[in-house]
Structure 1
């Protein structure tokens, strides 16, 4: 019965079609991420504490780029930056699972006849367009056409299996839902694409090679198999990334365990809402099977979200307990957390993560400035040695950030993204200069003062402390303006110049006037006071420069330059 099967045509058609499918999916996803990267960031940045809104945002963004992993990466950045709590991210991850069903719904249409026209149109658009955005849209269409064409190739290659007894016997072993789910999980883990598994299942069902119940079970198993991809992706990544992946795993596994015994009921439900078989007989069953599978996939994810949406705080606490924070070593307090090369295909998100890393660097440098206050005015050489050692982690992170931004610069950047990249390079350099001023200039000046046995009078110390506070406030405000794109905060830092200058002049004048009366710190003490003020004024100027860069960037973007 099956002796006429052409194995060469079967396997080359199956794997060749799968290769076209995966290549098209990768091409489409990359183009979508580049075209929609800024929109994704903005959409998820507008989250609220409302869980339903979080689900909607997760579904929308994932549906836009056909990649729940990209959504998860954005969330990790928001969580780490303190812009989103773990509990808020749980609902977005649930929504991402719903968004991932968009592909199945598209594939359920009779799309193979549109494959070659889409490939033609997509190629011409990407090849002939001068505008980068239109080239990306062309690649999206081209990728989708390749996905559809790959499905058509697989469908044609697998058609003879309907009369091939070994295959029929194998499918019979999948009549048990658990076995079918395990096959779906294993296959998805190997090819790392639940969309591809769903596509193959739709092809098989459309050829009447597997029944609806078996197809649904395999599709449910794919939800577990895709967790392997998430698990591999977070190896060596920050704890926030591991937690987000763990939420994805727990949600999918728990959902499959709930539904594995209800596959018959789920099949009956999708038959009732797409009853082609009842109207058109066997032909209608074959035609409706892809749509029924896609509907089952969507119902599964929507129902799981409705079940678990009320437990987002508990889920967040569970994963935080399962993956506790790991304290950073004193030797490597600034190990990069966000510089992920996997994000280079999505420049908007790569730049955002570089901004988060610069924020970490800025917090550390700001802390260095505050710690230098006691060392600069005190008599402890040990304190100065400790302050000097704080510069090494800054230098290492600075090099990592600049190298990462260099790799980002090699990708396809819009004019706005190119401006943002240069701003981030300048800010990273500025923060490294601040660290050098603190760890080198302030330390050197204080050591000279100690060697000269010069003292600083009490009222000068009080005034210098005031000056220190203003400089630290300016640096903190400039960093906040950059991290949150707060134009008002940036303008506030720029407006501090007169007040800071008046404080510095008052300290210099009072110290100088005390010299003739012999009441001051002496010439050596006066020189060191002025030297410290000049160093701090240099830090203040850098803070103003950082704030100015944010104002200039906002103006350039607003003007569309």
Structure 2
């Protein structure tokens, strides 16, 4: 008896199978991303110097991790880090669309009989082995098995619809390309997965419930629907992320507009490429041809597409962000720890620049006041403390992910540097300000000769701190060694200051003991800042030595 659309078994089977399919896709993507994340990052960073490489790279990376969104997250991270330009990213995003066609090709084989064996093998691997890599491979197999099992459940639930007159009429209406595209776009925007739409289409095509032309129309609509997903993901994100979503949208919409009038020809070409295959295989080939041809036609216009995205999403009007507001700590990057660590690295550099700025302006205020400027100097430490807390919290979230040994070492290095920079700011806001307030209370005036020596000492400390931040930012071990080599100069200046202090202590001058005390305190605070700068530089030299071993 024909199955009605209101049937409980139909909807539970359809949505239950879809849930298994989506859960399997998530498991597969997460496992493959953990296995290949660092290698993919390194490859992406090195091989995007021309469009063709970028295109092939985007296709390859996405075919491995089975998710264009993962590739896009990597790309956005590189753009934010300055490793990749938006123009270079266009080719990678085009390639990511090609990579997603691998999913359709795999599903079109309809090897659902392997579903439970794959789950069994995957569970066995995760239970019997202690090796982290093999456990991830086991998770990937579980995900792949659930994808096939979900398709099997959907296929079984929908099989009776072959005899349902309302369903047959609905499928017939999809012969209208505009309606088919609308259905595909709406469903994909709803389930947030073009792969899910493709999976259902392959189930329907495999049972002869939908014609190839109608299925292609819905698949084109899925490309429109996935743009909605990309744009939603960009809400509230940095401008680079929004532009990457806009690039994805421009590419997909232009491709759909191009093929809208050539769906029958695309269907004929798919049949030609797979003469012995059924509708499911023809649909997979149509999906591949659509994305490959679009990429080939538009690969020469990556620069124009990038400029269009920049025009559509202009930079926000320049405004001074509060020092304590994080700029790079995006929660969307946490699932890709290597990129998240890169973002945290850039934020720690910002923290170091803010601390350096405090040290730079500290000496004139410390020597001359007034009290209001000393209070303002101390107030700046609040913003630095706020930024430091945000960095440490973000690094704590990264630590909850599965990290490689190198990533764990980098996380410890970032925590150490952030703590050192925050301590430098504390030395200025707490010790130096308190000492300067005592100087004002005691009526102490620092002599011109003493000012000159302290100014030289301060200039060396600032130079060391700038060098340490530069070395940390550029991961420049040579620059870090230069900072550490400044110890000899600082020792000479300290000795000179000590001799001068003794001379001043025995001189006939008012309040000479209190003056000596305040001057020694100031030098000791600056010396503590110098030691922290050298400690940051040492982090870089130690990392370089560890990499060389």
Q: What is the TM-score when the length of structure 2 is the normalising length?
A: 0.89
- Measured after TM superposition, the shift of residue 160 of structure 1 is 2.7
Counterparts of 1:102-251 in structure 2, within 5 Å, are 102-251=102-251
Unpaired runs of 5+ residues, structure 2, are none
- Measured after TM superposition, the shift of residue 128 of structure 1 is 1.2
Instruction: Confirm or deny: 8 A CA contact 2:77 2:333 kept in the other structure.
Output: no
- Measured after TM superposition, the shift of residue 24 of structure 1 is 0.6
Unpaired runs of 5+ residues, structure 1, are 277-283
CA pair 78-158 structure 1, distance change in 2 beyond 3 A = same
Match of 2:427 in 1: 437
Comparing 105-114 with 1-10, greater Cα deviation is found at 1-10
Match of 2:28 in 1: 28
Instruction: Confirm or deny: 8 A CA contact 1:389 1:439 kept in the other structure.
Output: yes
Match of 1:292 in 2: 282
Instruction: Confirm or deny: 8 A CA contact 1:77 1:338 kept in the other structure.
Output: no
Q: Deviations over 1:277-318 (max 9, x none)?
A: xxxxxxx4x2xx333323332333333333333333343333
Instruction: Confirm or deny: 8 A CA contact 2:24 2:142 kept in the other structure.
Output: yes
Instruction: Confirm or deny: 8 A CA contact 1:30 1:346 kept in the other structure.
Output: no
CA pair 113-318 structure 1, distance change in 2 beyond 3 A = same
- Measured after TM superposition, the shift of residue 123 of structure 1 is 0.9
Match of 2:269 in 1: 269
Match of 1:281 in 2: none
CA distance in 2, matches of 1:181, 1:124: 42
1:354 to 338, 344, 347: 344
Instruction: Confirm or deny: 8 A CA contact 2:329 2:344 kept in the other structure.
Output: yes
2:402 is paired with a residue of what secondary structure? coil
- Measured after TM superposition, the shift of residue 84 of structure 1 is 2.9
Q: What is the TM-score when the length of structure 1 is the normalising length?
A: 0.88
The alignment status of 1:472 with 2:444, answered yes or no, reads: no
Comparing 10-19 with 140-149, greater Cα deviation is found at 10-19
Q: CA RMSD for the aligned pairs?
A: 3.0
Comparing 251-260 with 482-491, greater Cα deviation is found at 482-491
1:196 is paired with a residue of what secondary structure? helix
CA pair 252-446 structure 1, distance change in 2 beyond 3 A = farther
1:499 to 468, 471, 489: 489
- Measured after TM superposition, the shift of residue 374 of structure 1 is 4.2
The alignment status of 1:403 with 2:393, answered yes or no, reads: yes
- Measured after TM superposition, the shift of residue 260 of structure 1 is 1.9
CA distance in 1, matches of 2:478, 2:98: 38
Instruction: Confirm or deny: 8 A CA contact 1:38 1:349 kept in the other structure.
Output: no
Instruction: Confirm or deny: 8 A CA contact 2:323 2:387 kept in the other structure.
Output: no
2:235 is paired with a residue of what secondary structure? coil
CA pair 317-166 structure 1, distance change in 2 beyond 3 A = same
- Measured after TM superposition, the shift of residue 533 of structure 1 is 2.8
- Measured after TM superposition, the shift of residue 433 of structure 1 is 0.7
- Measured after TM superposition, the shift of residue 37 of structure 1 is 2.1
- Measured after TM superposition, the shift of residue 368 of structure 1 is 2.8
Instruction: Confirm or deny: 8 A CA contact 2:359 2:462 kept in the other structure.
Output: yes
CA distance in 1, matches of 2:99, 2:455: 54
Counterparts of 1:307-456 in structure 2, within 5 Å, are 307-326=297-316, 332-456=322-446
CA pair 327-4 structure 1, distance change in 2 beyond 3 A = closer
2:72 is paired with a residue of what secondary structure? helix
- Measured after TM superposition, the shift of residue 140 of structure 1 is 0.7
CA distance in 2, matches of 1:440, 1:133: 49
2:208 is paired with a residue of what secondary structure? coil
CA pair 79-467 structure 1, distance change in 2 beyond 3 A = farther
Name the count of aligned residue pairs. 549
Comparing 67-76 with 187-196, greater Cα deviation is found at 67-76
- Measured after TM superposition, the shift of residue 519 of structure 1 is 9.9
CA distance in 1, matches of 2:455, 2:307: 42
Q: Deviations over 1:443-469 (max 9, x none)?
A: 333344444454445565555444444
Instruction: Confirm or deny: 8 A CA contact 1:455 1:521 kept in the other structure.
Output: no
CA distance in 1, matches of 2:281, 2:546: 48
Q: Deviations over 1:259-280 (max 9, x none)?
A: 222222322322222222xxxx
- Measured after TM superposition, the shift of residue 545 of structure 1 is 1.6
CA distance in 2, matches of 1:224, 1:460: 72
- Measured after TM superposition, the shift of residue 17 of structure 1 is 1.6
The alignment status of 1:256 with 2:246, answered yes or no, reads: no
CA distance in 1, matches of 2:461, 2:48: 34
- Measured after TM superposition, the shift of residue 73 of structure 1 is 2.5
- Measured after TM superposition, the shift of residue 484 of structure 1 is 4.2
CA pair 213-460 structure 1, distance change in 2 beyond 3 A = farther
Q: Deviations over 1:131-152 (max 9, x none)?
A: 1221111101111111122122
- Measured after TM superposition, the shift of residue 184 of structure 1 is 0.9
Instruction: Confirm or deny: 8 A CA contact 2:81 2:342 kept in the other structure.
Output: no
Q: Deviations over 1:477-521 (max 9, x none)?
A: 433444444333333333332233334433444565466567999
Instruction: Confirm or deny: 8 A CA contact 1:62 1:96 kept in the other structure.
Output: yes
Q: Deviations over 1:195-224 (max 9, x none)?
A: 111111122222222222222221121122
Instruction: Confirm or deny: 8 A CA contact 1:219 1:297 kept in the other structure.
Output: yes
- Measured after TM superposition, the shift of residue 179 of structure 1 is 1.3
